[in-house]
Amino acid sequence: MNAQTYQRRLAKCGEHMANLGIDVLLLTKPSNMFYLTGDGRLCAYAMITQAGKVALGVPVTDIEDVKALAYHDHIVGFDDEVGMIHSIAHYFQHFGISKGMVGLEYTFLTQSMMAMMTHPHAKPEGVTHQDCTHILSEMRMVKEPEEIERIRAAAKVADIGMDAAIKAVKPGMTESQVAAAAEFAMRNAGAEEFWRTYVASGPRTNIAHGLPTNRKIEKDELVMVDIHPIVNNYSADICRTVCAGKPTAEQQKAYDLYLDAQQSTIRMIRAGVGMVDLETHIHQVLEDGGHGDHIFGPPIHGLGIEFEEAPLPPGHAFFHGEKAPPPLPENVVLSVGNCGLYAGPWGVRVEDTNWVKADGYETLTRYPRRLAK
């Protein structure tokens, strides 16, 4: 991304801030900092004024690295938390903000981090704070062409990772070894990083977040693999369920139902459709198939810099400090199939990354969808 990209985003951000009466943002969430400046990292912060000025605070060791990556007007290095707090106070003074409103990320800051950011040695007493989560979420929700291309690149790596994982699924292999195969393949295919890998087998295919364990896969068990490579700072999301042998008729039937629910929901995607319409549809198909009580979690979510970001379905959004999403604009990217079907001592799930277009959609993850290997 070039300087014009960040200037355009910062100008847009300034409009949101003005509308909400926010004088300055104090960001610490890496994905939000990355979106507005080109660099996001732990133990750092970005102050963003309404006028689009960017003041960064980073570990003193990281100054040269950040300078080369981030669009910014000011940068300061700190030695420790005390230095960080003082540098924030300095920027407030530099920008002449002694009263007014600072926007903080309530969905990211822990209570202790909040105490640091609003410490009397950091934030002027006359400055109050409000949540700014939704400003960045709303901006990041609609992707620019270069962002779509990066997600497309991540989706290709996701397909490669899934291929390696599915090939590794064999009786006797542990869930962790299947995860290893996927992660190794993704990094070697160009992922600089990945989000949490889920691999769950047998009865564990039922659980909501199947982090891999050393459980050995047994013959004829189902195995669920859910992976999220990061390529050039953008993510993709794919999940497949396969059988390490021969699935039962009941398993195949549940799988076919889930796949139909997921694929028919994807076919509804186009600009103007609502998240609720999509959510209602996928739930309805599963309910009509007799599994209305066997689903968990939001079936659809956005992705981009993070593998799960706005838009989220309204109920879920509320609890995550996000606003209910509007009818989908074009160039949102959606993951569909995030809710599993939990049928008893096993479950099935199929999830894909989709680009919302004016008149339809494109599914970016393409690994074959079939229960039998």
Residue (65 or 149) nearer to its own copies, CB: 65
What angle is formed at CA 108 by the lines to CA 103 and CA 113, rounded to 5 degrees? 80
4 binds its own copies (CB under 8 A): no
Residue type, 329: P
Q: How many angstroms separate the CA atoms of 279 and 274, rounded? A: 9
Do 81 and 107 touch, CB atoms closer than 8 A? Answer: no
The two three-digit tokens of residue 317, written as one number: 């959004």
202 binds its own copies (CB under 8 A): no
Do 260 and 269 touch, CB atoms closer than 8 A? Answer: no
User: If you ran DSSP here, which 8-state letter would residue 24 be given?
Assistant: E
β-sheet bridge partners, residue 242: 223
214 binds its own copies (CB under 8 A): yes
Given the structure tokens 């070894």, which residue do they identify? 177
Residue (271 or 276) nearer to its own copies, CB: 276
Q: Which one of the spans 1-9, 114-122, 250-258, 361-369 is the region binding its own copies (CB under 8 A)?
A: 114-122
Residue type, 367: Y
Do 338 and 352 touch, CB atoms closer than 8 A? Answer: no
Question: Of these, 161, 212, 247, 311, which contacts its own copies (CB under 8 A)?
Answer: 212
Cα 252 to Cα 86, 120, 234: the distances in Å are 61, 61, 34
Question: Of these, 12, 170, 184, 329, which contacts its own copies (CB under 8 A)?
Answer: 184
Supply the minimum distance, in Å, between the C-beta of residue 134 and its own copies: 11
For its own copies, how many residues bind (rule: CB under 8 A)?
63
**Site map 139..168 versus its own copies, x via CB under 8 A:** ------------------------------
Supply the minimum distance, in Å, between the C-beta of residue 360 and its own copies: 30
Q: How many angstroms separate the CA atoms of 184 and 288, rounded? A: 40
The binding site for its own copies (CB under 8 A) comprises: 41-43, 59-62, 64-65, 79-82, 104, 106-112, 114-116, 131, 133, 174-177, 179-181, 183-184, 187-188, 190-193, 203-204, 206-209, 211-214, 296-297, 315-316, 318-321, 340, 342, 345, 347
